[in-house]
Structure 1
Amino acid sequence: MIAKRLKNLREQKGYSISELAALANVSKSYLSYIERNLNKNPSIHFLKKVSKPLDSSIEYLLTGNNQIDDKMRNNVEKVLDKEWEVLVESAIKDGIDKDDFKEYINYIKFKIWEKNNREY
């Protein structure tokens, strides 16, 4: 649950809601709504802003998982196949940098999370 993880991280850092809102440049009331679980679908933009002063990742706020999952940690020798190499090289040639790529991955993960957590 985003609300619980956000509040726990904020409290671990010793920030009040007002302090975190100021550091992240977000609305104090919106932050409070998220923490109280009144708004269950914060924007990626909001999550990106609050994750920085909390020294966290958007992925952690959404899923509770660290950016590098356990499967990848245990499989350090994993090698990209040729198709992945070509895809990455093409993206680099098109001007996509690491930060852009990470942001896109987080966006896709958020959309998957959002799809799986819709209230019907």
Structure 2
Amino acid sequence: MIGERIKKLRLQHGMSLTELAERAGVAKSYISSIERQLQTNPSIQVLDKISEVFNTTAENLLKEDDDVTNVIDSEWMTILQEAIDSGIPKEELKKFIEFNKFKQGK
């Protein structure tokens, strides 16, 4: 259910209901009603606002599977965006990851 997925993401991000509501610009009571399954058909606009907070898409929130652990948290997205903005090419980042894997293997 969509409400369960939103609540799971919110808790994984260590966010209170109030914080999610403020960040998404959606009424706290409305998000609460979604999480408690009282509102089972939220608008796509609301889902878009909530999904932006979690750096995902409304489509990912609507997926039937319960695996929301693959959603990238906001800190990782910020780090990745900083790498992109600083001009680090993808190949350099891939080399760094491979080097790091190599180091950890020893």
Find the counterpart in structure 1 of residue 73 from structure 2: none
**Inter-partner Cα distance in structure 2 for 1:10 and 1:64:** 18
Report the counterpart of residue 23 of structure 1 in structure 2. 23
Matches within 5 A, 1:33-112: 33-64=33-64
Other-structure match for 2:5: 5
Look up the match of 2:74: none
Q: TM-score, normalised by structure 2?
A: 0.59
Aligned structure 1 segments of 4 or more residues deviating by more than 3 angstroms: none
How many aligned positions are there? 66
The separation in 2 between residues aligned to 1:17 and 1:9, in whole angstroms, is 11
| Percent of residue pairs identical | 48
Unaligned runs of 5+ in 2: 68-106
Q: Residue deviations 1:56-95, cap 9 Å, x none?
A: 21111112469xxxxxxxxxxxxxxxxxxxxxxxxxxxxx
Contact between 1:21 and 1:31, CA under 8 Å: does it hold in 2?
yes
What is aligned with 1:105?
A: none
Question: In structure 2, how many angstroms separate the alpha carbons of the residues matched to 1:64 and 1:9?
Answer: 15
SS of structure 2 residue aligned to 1:55: coil
